[in-house]
Amino acid sequence: MVGIREVAEVAGVSMSTVSQVVSGNRPVSAATRARVEAAITHLGYRAHPGASQLRGGRTGTIALIVPTLENPFYPLVAAGMQDVLVPRDILLTVTDASGMDRSTNAIHRLLSRRVDAMVAAPFGIPAAGLAELHDAGIPFVTLGEEPPGGGDYVHSDDVRGAREVTEHLIARGRRRIAFLGGEESVIPTQQRLAGYRAALQAAGLPFRDDDVVCTEFTRQGGRDGAALLLDRDDRPDAIVAANDLIAIGVLDVTRARGLRVPEDVALTGYDDIDAASLVSPPLTTIENPAREIGRACARLLLERLDGDVTEVTRAVALSNRLVVRDST
Amino acid sequence: MVGIREVAEVAGVSMSTVSQVVSGNRPVSAATRARVEAAITHLGYRAHPGASQLRGGRTGTIALIVPTLENPFYPLVAAGMQDVLVPRDILLTVTDASGMDRSTNAIHRLLSRRVDAMVAAPFGIPAAGLAELHDAGIPFVTLGEEPPGGGDYVHSDDVRGAREVTEHLIARGRRRIAFLGGEESVIPTQQRLAGYRAALQAAGLPFRDDDVVCTEFTRQGGRDGAALLLDRDDRPDAIVAANDLIAIGVLDVTRARGLRVPEDVALTGYDDIDAASLVSPPLTTIENPAREIGRACARLLLERLDGDVTEVTRAVALSNRLVVRDST
DNA sequence: CTGAAAGCGCTTACAG
DNA sequence: CTGAAAGCGCTTACAG
């Protein structure tokens, strides 16, 4: 294995100088730099990351924790992060927290690996996990909401998005609009529910507890929730689903029951994943810019790592927009 | 920061002993072990990965290179790898090679980071990249086909799958069946084309060059290819698409042209991603067990890293199966 | 602008 | 079964 020592010998300089050329941490004369660089290419030298890490302190790795890789929204967040991290030669590690007993385990594990920074989708991460992250003192960004205790976060104004989609249903003449959420404790459910509620209120429509059902952010969750809502005598005339997967599950049920969408029940999703435009009827939904979200997260983290930041909390709000299709 | 030294002090043993307890690399008496473990939990000790790496040689990181994260097939492969790697406390880093000038860059970058092993979807990775991988001497697995020069690979018998789906179309009475492939140079295109061809031959149907069109493994690729195939005077009565995304692109075109599927043109996909059952009509396709593929890759790699393997090449073939829906 | 030397936190022969 | 010591390949004060 060729190391800094061999490069130094070939270039006729000290190991320190080679290190400086590689890291750029201190000025080197042009002539020396050229000799060192020639030696590096000649020998095919590659720095040993373990050694750099041991002295320098950084692993050059950033982690992303997501609730699941089965929702195509999250791989796109990862792709967005890569857009920013690859040019900086930082490695991204993606952890699907669904496989672990608790997502706290995932945080633990990544902290042991000394990742430099972390993006956590807090959906289902218990407060204890986030607290541990905080204590570790590494930069982190959460999705959706300011983490307890402060910190950077990226969101796309779910309250406004859900409000918009609900107002759209009201404008289409719907009056008995139900809300079908994901896990109840989770931020996107809460914010989208708040938006739904705000729209009803603004329109002077009553908010009814039993028109709100919370299940899971999956297709199966949508099926379960739709069964509860649609088999009642006083069926709603519209359903605001908290994400597209849930809405797709609702379609499974309407199809099985012979209900027409939107004639019998209008339906909206959230996220605008590819599948939203593929189902029949295609879903009216809110476009949630996954890739942009990933990029913004990575940028916030890099700024912290570069040390340019003094604020405790920074928020990045990305715009989302209503996409009207045939389900409403 | 608490290190092995502090643990040793508290436990009243040498640093060597602490190391042995942590790594399990040599026997330690039960009593000593207990004291050390108590000290570790008490102090909240975590090994520094950089230091272990510098001495031990391994980074505990495995890489996956995929052509894109936008095809939901690949995140599932990643999830399958995680199923196996997380219990072994190995980090997975996922690289979307589409963002890079060439995927060779991705290999380069990961080799510099000293990942312990690698899974490469060779689709679009030039031979030079694979050769470099080979030279690096780390375990690697490719998807779909034995890498040049030998090595482990995981596949799900694309030839047989494509043959099966084509035979299904023939059994349904189709006689003029076209093939719509992804990138021409790429293994899945080639193998699925071979299967298609074998089915035609077995049925005594002619193989015609102009019934084969290669584009890209994307929805847009499907649109482009379908335009070529369907605007001809002697339109085919069926299309075998090389993956589901392509087939979905074909549906965009049939819809625009007012062609009925399957009455005017029957259509099949490949992979059985979620979207395949969501489109209208739902696609007949071949189920490609992404998550299982990921698991198999990780297992092959771990066996190599554990040193139990002497064979140059090992193949894991996973079963795929025909899923018949309304598009045929 | 450059070099010699110490040391980051571990693991692993070596010795007992 | 356990310990003392060397050293992995770098980076960073320190000195010039």
Interface test with A, best of B88, B113, B243 (most A CBs within 10 A): B113
pLDDT number for residue A217: 92
> Around Cβ A310, how many Cβ atoms within 10 Å?
5
Residue A122's pLDDT band (cuts 50, 70, 90): low
Interatomic separation, CA of residue B306 and C1' of nucleotide C15, rounded (Å): 29
How far apart, in whole angstroms, are the C-alpha atoms of residue A144 and residue A155? 4
Sign for the pseudo-dihedral over CA of B73, B104, A289, B245: negative
Amino acid occupying residue A93: T
How far apart, in whole angstroms, are the C-alpha atoms of residue B295 and residue B64? 12
Nearest to A89 among B53, B109, B280 (CB): B109
Binary contact (B93, A93; C-beta < 8 A): yes
Nearest Cα to Cα of residue A69 among A36, A37, A97: A97
Nearest Cα to Cα of residue A301 among A140, A128, A180: A140
Binary contact (B93, A61; C-beta < 8 A): yes
Of chain B, the percentage scoring pLDDT greater than 70 comes to 96
Binary contact (B79, A72; C-beta < 8 A): no
pLDDT number for residue A103: 60
- Any residues with CB less than 8 A from the CB of B120 and at least 6 apart, and which? B65, B107, B129, B130, B133, B140, B141, B142, B143
- Any residues with CB less than 8 A from the CB of A134 and at least 6 apart, and which? A140, A147, A149, A151
Nearest to B78 among A47, A72, A94 (CB): A94
Binary contact (B54, A50; C-beta < 8 A): yes
Binary contact (B91, A69; C-beta < 8 A): no
Taking only the tens place, the pLDDT of each residue in B253-298 is: 999 999 999 999 999 999 999 889 888 899 999 999 999 999 999 9
Taking only the tens place, the pLDDT of each residue in A50-109 is: 888 887 778 889 999 998 888 889 999 999 999 999 888 889 999 888 765 556 678 888
Taking only the tens place, the pLDDT of each residue in A257-279 is: 999 999 999 999 999 998 898 88
**Least-confidence region, from A7-16, A74-83, A118-127, B193-202:** A118-127
How far apart, in whole angstroms, are the C-alpha atoms of residue B37 and residue B4? 12
Amino acid occupying residue B216: E
Nearest to A91 among B75, B93, B248 (CB): B93
Interatomic separation, CA of residue B43 and C1' of nucleotide C7, rounded (Å): 23
- Residue numbers in A near B79 (CB within 8 A): 69-70, 96, 99
How far apart, in whole angstroms, are the C-alpha atoms of residue A271 and residue A287? 5
**Residue B155: C-alpha distances to residues A156, B68, B161 (Å):** 40, 18, 11
User: Do A261 and A238 touch, CB atoms closer than 8 A?
Assistant: no
**Residue A70: C-alpha distances to residues A78, B51, B67 (Å):** 13, 35, 18
Determine the residue of chain A that is closest to B51 in CA distance: A54
**Burial A1-25, CB ≥16 within 10 A → b, else e:** eeebeebbebbebeeebbbbbbeee
Residue A29's pLDDT band (cuts 50, 70, 90): confident
Q: Which domains does chain A have, with CATH numbers?
A: 4-47 (1.10.260.40), 61-156+290-318 (3.40.50.2300), 158-287 (3.40.50.2300)
Protein residue minimizing CA–C1' distance to C10: B51
How far apart, in whole angstroms, are the C-alpha atoms of residue A161 and residue B317? 46
CA distance A99 to chain B (A): 7
pLDDT number for residue B104: 64
Binary contact (B50, A46; C-beta < 8 A): no
**Least-confidence region, from A57-61, A223-227, A299-303, B4-8:** A57-61
Higher pLDDT, residue B227 or B130 = B227
Protein residue minimizing CA–C1' distance to C3: A14
**Least-confidence region, from B104-118, B126-140, B175-189, B254-268:** B126-140
Interface test with B, best of A22, A54, A69 (most B CBs within 10 A): A69
Taking only the tens place, the pLDDT of each residue in B248-262 is: 999 999 999 999 999
- Answer whether residue B102 shows pLDDT above 60: no
User: Do A106 and A97 touch, CB atoms closer than 8 A?
Assistant: yes
Of chain B, the percentage scoring pLDDT greater than 90 comes to 53
Q: Which of A24-33, A115-124, B151-160 has the highest mean pLDDT?
A: B151-160
CA distance B252 to chain A (A): 10
Q: Which nucleotides of D are covered by protein (CB under 7 A)?
A: 1-5, 7-13
Omega before residue A262 within 30° of 0, cis: yes
**Residue B156: C-alpha distances to residues A75, A254, B119, B239, B318 (Å):** 23, 35, 16, 21, 4
- Answer whether residue B101 shows pLDDT above 70: no
- Partners of residue B154 on adjacent β-strands: B143, B316
- A20 beta carbon < 7 A from strand D? yes
| H helix or E strand, kind and range, residue A201 | helix A187-202
CA distance B311 to chain A (A): 25
Interatomic separation, CA of residue A203 and C1' of nucleotide D11, rounded (Å): 65
Mean pLDDT of A185-208: 94
Binary contact (A78, B69; C-beta < 8 A): yes
Chain A residues with CB within 8 Å of chain B CB: 46-54, 59-61, 69-70, 72, 74-76, 78-79, 82-83, 86, 89, 91-96, 99-100, 109, 111-114, 219, 248, 274-275, 278-280
pLDDT number for residue A99: 60
**Ordered strands of the B152-155 beta sheet:** A315-317, A152-155, A140-143, A117-120, A61-66, A91-96, B91-96, B61-66, B117-120, B140-143, B152-155, B315-317
**Residue B205: C-alpha distances to residues A284, B199, B213 (Å):** 45, 8, 18
CA distance A109 to chain B (A): 8
**Burial A221-259, CB ≥16 within 10 A → b, else e:** bbbbbbbebbeeeeebbbbbbbbbbbbbbbbbbbeeeeb
pLDDT number for residue A106: 82
State residue B21 phi and psi, 5-degree precision. -65, -45
Determine the nucleotide nearest to A26 by Cα–C1' distance: C1
How far apart, in whole angstroms, are the C-alpha atoms of residue A37 and residue A40? 5
User: Do B86 and B60 touch, CB atoms closer than 8 A?
Assistant: no
Taking only the tens place, the pLDDT of each residue in A138-180 is: 899 999 888 888 889 998 889 999 999 999 999 999 999 999 9
Determine the nucleotide nearest to A54 by Cα–C1' distance: C8
Interface test with B, best of A64, A89, A91 (most B CBs within 10 A): A91
User: Do A235 and A210 touch, CB atoms closer than 8 A?
Assistant: no
Interatomic separation, CA of residue A56 and C1' of nucleotide C6, rounded (Å): 15
Mean pLDDT of B177-198: 94
Interatomic separation, CA of residue A34 and C1' of nucleotide C4, rounded (Å): 23
If you average pLDDT over every residue of chain A, what do you get?
90
Residue A187's pLDDT band (cuts 50, 70, 90): confident
Give CA torsion, residues B88, A77, A141, A146, to 10 deg.
-120
Q: What is the DSSP letter of A317?
A: E
Nearest Cα to Cα of residue A95 among A53, A62, A59: A62
- Residue numbers in A near B72 (CB within 8 A): 72, 75
Q: Which of A239-248, B40-49, B97-106 has the highest mean pLDDT?
A: A239-248
